[in-house]
Every structure is written in C-alpha cells, then in structure tokens.
Amino acid sequence: MTLSSIAIILETEFSGADIEISGMNALKDATSSEVSFVANSKYIKDIQTTNAAAVIVPASFVEHLPEGCVALVVENSYWSMAILSKYFAPVIENDDLPKAQIGEGTKVSPKAEIANGAKIGKNCTILAHVYIGAEAVIGDNTIIYPSVTVYRDCVIGSDCIIHSNTAIGADGFGFATNKLGEHKKIYQNGNVVIEDDVEIGSNVSVDRAVFGTTLIKKGVRIDNLVQIGHNCEIGEYSVFVAQSGSAGSTKLGRNVVVGGQAAFAGHLEIAPFSTFAARSGITKSITESGLTFAGFPLMDHKLWLKLQVKIARLLK
C-alpha cells in the first residue's frame, strides 16, 4: 500500500515521497518500509529513535519525529491506527498456498483440518477436530489433542503437548474507543511462538500479538483454564496454575511460578524466579529475583501470612 493511499484512508495529508508501505509495527521495531503510531506521551523517547517510514501522531507530537520520518497527523492516533490495522490483516486462509507439508511418521486424524501452507514435523500426533491454520508450523514429536485450534502463522516447537480445546493465536483483546464511546477493532497482525518442550493444558487461550510475537519460551508448563494476553513473553520453565493469567505485553523472566487465580496487569516486567501465591494480584513490576509474594495489594508472602493471623484474631 502506498503512503498516499494510507493518508486517504486516515483522512489526512503528508509531505514527502510517496513510498510503498509493507506493514505496521511498534515504534521500536518498525523498519523503513513500515508505518507506526504513538498515542501516549510516555513513548516520545521511542519516537525520536524510530526507523519507521511514517508515524501516525497527534499534532503535538510532530516535533519529536526524526528527520525523514513522515508525520500522518490525526486527531485520535489510536483510533486511526485501529482503522488502518484492518488493511494490513492477512487473509485467514489462502487457497493459492501449497498444500500442507506433513513430516514422516506423523499421524493426522481424518477428522482434523490442516490449512494450505501449514508445515507439520516428524512423528507428531494430530487428533480429531484439530485445526491448523495457514502457514502455521509444528515441530517434531508434538502431540495436539482433540479440538485444539492453532491459528494462522503461529509456531509450535518440538516435543510439545497441547491439550483439548486450547486456542493458540486467537485475537488479543484490543480496540480503540472514540469520544462517543464507540469501539474500533485493532486487528491483531502478529503471531504466537511456542518454543520446545512446552505443555499446555485444556481450555487455555494464548492470544496473538498486535505486532510482533506472543512468546512462550522453552520448558513452560501451563495448567488448564489459563489466559495469556497479546504480546506477552513467558520465560523459560515458568509455571502457570489453573485460572491464572496475564494481561497484554507483560514479560516474565525464567522460572516464575504463578499460583491459581493469580493475575498480572499489563506492561509489567517480572524478575526471574519470582513466586506468586494463589489469588495474587500483580499490578507493578518486580525487579528483584527469588522473592515470594501473596495477596492483593501484593506483599511479601510471610508478611501476608502474619496479616491473616492478625485479621483472624480481630474476628474472635
């Protein structure tokens, strides 16, 4: 899509060369053929170093753009980004792609559906009512139980186990809202990557990224009924117990243990080897490794235990 076409869609004007735009991306990751956006002043530092060809911005942010970067000035940049995201969304299935590649020794149930362009490794087991989307990739020796859905472009490594009714790569919960309270869908054009030796329980949702990748690293264990939001990163050998979850863009270090019904707010950084007791509510980043927490508001686990004793005595 040309930059002039994008300007027409967004009902704005620009000055500079009318170049081809290949996609959308975050400010930090955008290339010289991509368009990005900024809607919050805390990202001004990222504007100044972006390599994006053009950035969707409110008028007050234009002065921060680097030389050569085109400003697409709009009233509500988040809303405009949502509008434009639809135009870069890939097709759900593509009949022009080659037939799926199935590795030697892999067993695929006749009741499973494998879309064109998918690639499945050696010695896998794909059971009934599984759906593997266009250009998805499955490594070797992986077992996918009945009724699992792996959306387009997602990657699952080798020696993984995915249990029934889990969805890998559904759209993240993303939308923009205007002054009238109307909601505009942000098309989630990234993917999910699950590394080797990961086991995921039943009825789990791992959402695809808006841009880039939602990443589940090697050796992670995820129990049933867990939600992993878009653009999250789950560190190696971390554990999520049932009914826990994370909002979007939160990053966990390795060997983080998350108790049942514990939950993370979005855009947090969690230090490696952190442990969170059941029903913990994590709203701030954790910078020191090896600590154990509980409660909401979150506190040191030992302090939380003492507090429960004192509360119990008050009730006598």
- Distance (Å, rounded) from C-alpha 116 to C-alpha 100? 5
- Distance (Å, rounded) from C-alpha 109 to C-alpha 215? 28
Give the model's pLDDT for residue 27: 92
Helix extents (H) in 73-204: 77-85
| Residues 153 and 229 reside in one and the same domain | yes
**Catalytic residue chosen out of the listed positions 64, 183, 230, 267:** 230
CATH number at residue 25: 3.40.1390.10
Q: Has residue 96 been placed in a domain?
A: no
Backbone angles phi, psi at 45, to 5 degrees: -65, -30
Q: Has residue 316 been placed in a domain?
A: no
pLDDT in tens, 174-195: 999 999 999 999 999 999 999 9
Residue that is last in its domain, among 66, 88, 110? 88
| Residues 107 and 48 reside in one and the same domain | no
Give the model's pLDDT for residue 43: 83
Domain count, the chain: 2
pLDDT of 202 strictly over 90: yes
3-class secondary structure, 312 = helix
pLDDT in tens, 116-161: 999 999 999 999 999 999 999 999 999 999 999 999 999 999 999 9
Q: Has residue 93 been placed in a domain?
A: no
Q: Has residue 155 been placed in a domain?
A: yes
Domain that holds residue 195: 101-304
Residue that is last in its domain, among 31, 61, 88? 88
CATH number at residue 289: 2.160.10.10
| Residues 176 and 285 reside in one and the same domain | yes
Give the model's pLDDT for residue 106: 98
| Residues 208 and 281 reside in one and the same domain | yes
What is the distance between the terminal CA atoms of the chain, rounded to a whole angstrom?
Answer: 70
| Residues 44 and 169 reside in one and the same domain | no
Tell me what the mean pLDDT of segment 225-242 comes to: 98
| Residues 78 and 167 reside in one and the same domain | no
Both tokens assigned to 125: 């087991």
Give the model's pLDDT for residue 15: 85
The more confident residue out of 63 and 270 is 270
| Residues 74 and 128 reside in one and the same domain | no
Q: Has residue 94 been placed in a domain?
A: no
| Residues 63 and 125 reside in one and the same domain | no
| Residues 252 and 130 reside in one and the same domain | yes
Q: Has residue 142 been placed in a domain?
A: yes
Q: Has residue 315 been placed in a domain?
A: no
Give the model's pLDDT for residue 316: 75
| Residues 135 and 274 reside in one and the same domain | yes
Least Cα distance to 248 among 286, 296, 215, 289 occurs for 215
Tally the residues of the chain. Answer: 316
Residue that is last in its domain, among 88, 116, 146? 88
| Residues 275 and 179 reside in one and the same domain | yes
- Which of 16-25, 42-51, 154-163, 241-250 is predicted with the least confidence, judged by mean pLDDT? 42-51
Q: Predicted confidence band at 50 (pLDDT cuts at 50, 70, 90)?
A: very high
Residue 129 designated active-site: no
Q: Read off the DSSP letter of residue 173.
A: S
Q: Predicted confidence band at 266 (pLDDT cuts at 50, 70, 90)?
A: very high
Give the model's pLDDT for residue 149: 98
Q: Has residue 314 been placed in a domain?
A: no
Sign, CA torsion 271/272/277/281: positive
Least Cα distance to 145 among 208, 190, 204 occurs for 204
